[in-house]
Chains A and B, each alone.
Chain A
Amino acid sequence: MGLWKPDPSFYPSAKMAMQAPPERHAYVAALNYGRNDQPDGICVVDLDPDSASYGTVLTTLELPNVGDELHHFGWNACSSALCPFAPHPHLERRYLVVPGIRSSRLYIVDTKPDPTKPHIAKIIEPEEVIEKSGYSRPHTVHCGPDAIYVSAMGSTDEDGPGGIFMLDHFSFEVKGPWEIDRGDQELAYDFWWHLAEDVLVSSEWAKPHQFENGLVPEDLLANKYGHRLHFWDLRKRKRVQTIDLGAQHQMVLELRPAHDPRKTYGFAGVVISTADLSASIWLWQRSDKDGQWTMDKVITIPAVPAEESALPPALKPFGAVPPLVSDIDLSLDDRFLYVSCWGTGELHQYDVSDPLNPKLAGKVAIGGIVNKAPHPKSDGPLLGGPQMVEISRDGKRVYFTNSLYSTWDDQFYPEKMGGWMVKVNVQPDGGMALDPGFFVDFGDTRVHQIRLEGGDSSTDSFCYPS
């Protein structure tokens, strides 16, 4: 821990964080579940354009167990350590908290002393995670001002609710479930917060049996996946409001609140509408009048008609490719929202300066169920599509990977999809293009969440206005 200066990667405001130096490497979740007997791992990818090994995997930390199925992961500490009511600025952004969504195991990965050679500092075995937290299938990790928060898809038993539990900042001990009063919230997925408002927002995906062995078409057509958003009192750990987007809006996944704590709005992505296969982005905002939250659909991305012969069995009855928005990410200046259309193989960039009226500012096409669009550096057509997106802190570079989730990859891309990661260069006022020189081929191994050195646009929370 630093004595005289806080960790240099902590910034009081999002605006200051945009001045951060460019990232030199990324940590990428590498997955082998279900296809070979290899364990999952964390790959370190060189992002430094001046390096001889730019755009290649420097090292891979291989996990000691097979079948963890990594998904999302996060830092032990971030800019929220500067929040004034519980400051601990001399904590280090040093450990990656890496959950196995299938095994319920938690790895604490140390990125020091050599950030390109991470090693395991601690393993919390599934029994301990489940017993102490009351939850299973841990997923999203956020560094809070007072603890590390982890969402979990499942409960200790098959039918119990998913939710959020807390880890101690310093010892990584599982402290227990976060919620005191969850109301009728059952399904879990992503969560984030408006720290200055003491509000936590959570979204709904599904119960473990609805995703572990693949998407269940009957459940989807019966609108049994999540379609609600929950607003919580962060202090009282109590659910205060729930908004139902309508049962046809199936799978509300990623949540991106504005980074500037003065702004009380954010974006949520919906994977698919069972009415017309479209995907949508919703804006939540707080009403000035009564303090209640409201939601509006601000972006609709329609399905694209396709020949039945070009579609995987799961989609043949529909004669169209759904966009399947699986991830969204908001730049630190709250100006550009990036939207992954994993089905159609497109990354969209929207100018959301006026959050109620987003404008499409740029598009990149790669992969896709029908198009399989190649990269200038790839060997022919590509399977998978834009999926986990990460934006550099300065907003000039965007990176993404192509894998959604083992069993779902196999349903939508049944032709033995491998893993790849690409980079996009962003114009200052919108517009973007694939970097023709950056294409990381992971071979059979699939890749999911990306974390950038020193932080990125979906890890840090700020307590001071921009």
Chain B
Amino acid sequence: MGQDVIVSIVPWLAMLGFGAFHGLNPGMGWLFALSLGLQQQRERVIWLSLLPIAAGHALAIALAAMLVLFGTKVISLPALQWLTAGLLLAFGLYKLFNYYRHPRWVGMKVGLGDLFLWSFLMATAHGAGLMVLPALIGVAGGDVGHAGHGEHASHLGASGVNMLLAVILHTGAMLLVMGGTAWIVYRKFGLAILRRHWINFDLIWAIALLIAAAVAAMMAL
């Protein structure tokens, strides 16, 4: 029973951890929010801008969750896991050699709608949703394991709720880390920190995609 709890909790922790990881990446939004606040000389703008950014990100993750829900309905769990592993491997390899590429869209003069779309685009183009697929399958897979015989309708309903919870958890963690990072840079360190400590998140991101591919493959085995 102990092992069961651990197994079912790991995907949730992964969703939380990925949320923090995505939030920390300056390319996913906190830096954009911070720069808008600095430009307009209003701190409130920083915090206000984080909300549409988080919402855009959440939409990208929610689409991934819907794909998983759909996937568990049409193919077997191992097949879904292998498919995910393959997708992640292919995209991770692509990003490994093209990690510096970004979609070019918007500019510096943005409204809340722009920020929402920008964030959705960034998350999607960088494969944020793809990265959390194994964790989402884990969340869904736990239910599949427990569903036993019959009762397909109710189990699908339950995993739908779980998926929603997982997206909320992920986005909450992301928002918290984005806000915390923006706050620390704004209040304590200043922008000079960008020069010294802006690690190559794009490359780390590509590696994270490959790790997620390995995890998905291990889940399938």
Contacts and interface: CB of A to CB of B under 8 A. Distances in A.
A5 interface: yes
Contact of A235 (B100, B102, B106, B200): B106
Interface residues of A, number: 36
Contacts of A52: none
Given A12-B194, A464-B191, A85 B38 contact: no
A90 B100 contact: yes
Contacts of A465: 38-39, 41
Give the size category of B's interface with A.
20 to 34
Interface in B12-67: 26-27, 31-32, 34-35, 38-39, 41
A5 B203 contact: no
A71 to B, nearest CB: 28
Contact of B35 (A8, A84, A170): A84
Given A3-B200, A4-B200, A12 B108 contact: no
A1 B118 CA distance: 26
Given A12-B191, A464-B191, A83 B200 contact: no
Interface in A194-215: 195-198
A89 B35 contact: no
Contacts of A82: 194, 198
A449 interface: no
B39 A5 contact: no
B198 A89 contact: yes
B147 interface: no
B202 A5 contact: no
Given A2-B200, A464-B38, A87 B26 contact: yes
B198 A83 contact: no
A146 B35 CA distance: 17
A87 B102 CA distance: 8
Nearest to B98: A170
Interface string B170-204: 00000000000000000000011011111110110
A8 B195 contact: yes
B194 A198 contact: no
Nearest to A195: B108
A235 B107 contact: yes
Contacts of A261: 39, 108
A454 to B, nearest CB: 13
B149 interface: no
Contacts of B39: 196, 261-262, 464-465
A147 B104 contact: yes
B146 interface: no
Contacts of A170: 100-101
Nearest to B36: A84
B148 to A, nearest CB: 49
7 closest cross-chain pairs (CB), A and B: A198-B107, A84-B32, A12-B191, A146-B104, A84-B31, A198-B109, A84-B35
17 contacts: A5-B196, A5-B198, A5-B199, A6-B198, A12-B191, A82-B198, A83-B108, A84-B34, A85-B32, A86-B102, A90-B200, A170-B100, A198-B107, A198-B108, A235-B109, A464-B35, A465-B39
